């Protein structure tokens, strides 16, 4: 009888310690590298995610993180480079005026803009300037900045006068 009491006490202690010790799922949290203490996306081993304050379930392959909740589904392109991640966040712009392909002035209601000229020059927000090339087969625009900023690849889709770009945001792990 005394042995049973000892065993049941020992099992209870092990159970409580495993609960307190975090027997739950592991979560990886990522922040923009310019705001390294503020997590933008958190991915748990149990299939749950938080992205910009909203709760989701998620799946992940080598190219996309697919987030789902009661409002729908969205896929976010990402790339891993060792311990670093680049998250490609989408924004949609409307063409102002005329142009062929990506050539033209593209704006959002918040005032953000891109201008792509026929001779391969671009302006981003009227602040950053440089040259660009379009890789139609990969649906990518390569931005080569005049300033000492690393070149960027934007993935894009074009639907008439709507341009959706997936802009690369370097991420860091939140410890």
In angstroms, the CA 165 to CA 113 distance is 11
Do 107 and 138 have their domain in common? yes
162: which DSSP letter? E
pLDDT in the model for residue 98: 92
Q: What's the mean pLDDT in 83-97?
A: 95
State pTM to two decimals.
0.80
Do 80 and 107 have their domain in common? no
Do 112 and 76 have their domain in common? no
Q: Say if residues 41 and 48 touch (Cβ distance below 8 Å).
A: no
At 21, is the pLDDT very low, low, confident or very high (cuts 50, 70, 90)? very low
Is there a domain that residue 130 lies in?
yes
Q: Which residue reads 């040259």 in tokens?
A: 131
Containing domain of residue 119, as a range?
A: 88-173
Higher per-residue confidence, 4 vs 69: 69
Among 41, 101, 127, smallest CA distance to 76 is for 41
Do 59 and 125 have their domain in common? no
Do 100 and 153 have their domain in common? yes
Domain count, the chain: 2
pLDDT at 17 over 60: no
Is there a domain that residue 161 lies in?
yes
Do 78 and 117 have their domain in common? no
Which uninterrupted H or E stretch holds 4? helix 2-20
Q: What is the pLDDT of residues 128-152, one digit of tens each?
A: 999 999 999 999 999 999 999 999 9
């Amino acid at each position: 009888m005394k042995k049973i009491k000892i065993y049941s006490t020992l099992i209870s202690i092990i159970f409580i310690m495993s609960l307190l010790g975090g027997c739950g799922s592991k979560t990886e949290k990522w922040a923009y590298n310019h705001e390294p203490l503020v997590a933008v996306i958190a991915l748990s081993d149990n299939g749950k995610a938080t992205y910009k304050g909203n709760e989701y379930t998620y799946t992940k392959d080598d190219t996309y993180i697919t987030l789902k909740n009661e409002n729908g589904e969205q896929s976010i392109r990402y790339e891993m480079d060792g311990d670093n991640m680049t998250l490609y966040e989408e924004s949609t712009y409307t063409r102002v005026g005329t142009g062929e392909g990506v050539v033209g002035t593209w704006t959002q209601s918040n005032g953000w803009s891109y201008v792509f000229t026929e001779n391969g020059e671009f302006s981003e927000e009227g602040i950053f300037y440089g040259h660009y090339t379009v890789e139609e087969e990969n649906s990518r625009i390569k931005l080569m900045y005049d300033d000492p900023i690393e070149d960027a690849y934007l993935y894009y889709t074009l639907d008439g006068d709507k341009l959706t770009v997936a802009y690369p945001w370097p991420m860091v792990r939140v410890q």
